[in-house]
Amino acid sequence: MDDVEYDNLVEGIRHRKEAALATLFDLYYEKLYLFAEKYIYDSDRAHDIVQDVFLRIWENAEQLVLRGSIRHYLFTSVRNGCLNYLKSLQIEDRNNRKYAEAYIESQNVDMVEDEELLAKIRQVMEELPERCREVCMLRFGEGYKYSEIAERLGMNENTVKAQLHRGMERLREAFANYDYVVVLCALGRLFMEH
């Protein structure tokens, strides 16, 4: 989507044009749902959270103020909805939360600007065996489930899990001196570039 199309889409939403909302929905609903589902591990509730975000946009279209891209606004809104849901359950699983926060931040393509880190991650990814690299890209770049990766690559799920584990271990080793959340964010940025 070029800048003119993007501006027209945002203006269309502000003027409550159903076609603009439908376009926005088609562009982002599935990505937002996968994002929410990975965050809260509840498919039905993930759908509800994403639908609530689109409903709020429609109800408050005239007052829509964007400080960044609409993509960033949508993912931030879904993240906040997920956090509120988790708070309502009083969940305190810190390991899961760290992974979820890293995944969320990895969706923000602008977050990691350290070109040296990105170059090193590219190098590590290129050094992975081909199948391992493919599995990592499908899981973290495209959001595929283990079963979907297995079907797509003609593997069984245990092999997919083993390949993913191998890739993540290689990243942990290569970036032992880095904050692992930053590495996951950078990894997310690289996948978004493909």
Q: Which fold has domain 115-193?
A: Arc Repressor Mutant, subunit A (1.10.10)
Helix (H, G, I), strand (E, B), or coil: what is residue 45? helix
Write out the CATH class of domain 3-91. mainly alpha
- 65 phi-psi bin (left φ>0, alpha ψ -120 to 50, beta other): beta
Q: What's the pLDDT at 59?
A: 82
User: pLDDT value at position 49?
Assistant: 92
For residue 136, what pLDDT band results from cuts at 50, 70 and 90?
Answer: confident
Angle between helix 18-40 and 3-14 (nearest 10): 100
Summarised one tens digit per residue, pLDDT across range 54-106 is 888 888 877 777 766 788 888 888 988 988 887 777 544 444 445 555 555 54
* Global model pTM greater than 0.85: no
Per-residue pLDDT tens for 146-187?
A: 888 999 999 998 888 888 888 888 877 887 776 655 666 666
Crossing angle of helices 43-59 and 70-89, rounded to 10°: 130
pLDDT in tens, 11-63: 888 888 888 888 888 888 898 988 888 877 788 888 999 999 988 888 887 77
pLDDT single digits (tens) 122-132 = 888 889 999 99
pLDDT at 6 over 60: yes
Write out the two tokens for 116.
């040296």
Say if 3-91 and 115-193 have the same CATH topology. Answer: no
Q: Which residues contact 190 (CB under 8 A, 6 or more apart)?
A: 118, 121, 122, 125
The more confidently predicted of residues 111 and 90 is: 90
Please state, rounded to an integer, the average pLDDT across all residues of the chain. 76
For residue 194, pLDDT over 80 is answered with no
Confidence label for 4 from pLDDT (cuts 50, 70 and 90): low
Q: What is the pLDDT of residue 108?
A: 46
Per-domain residue ranges of the chain: 3-91, 115-193
The predicted pLDDT at position 90 comes to: 59
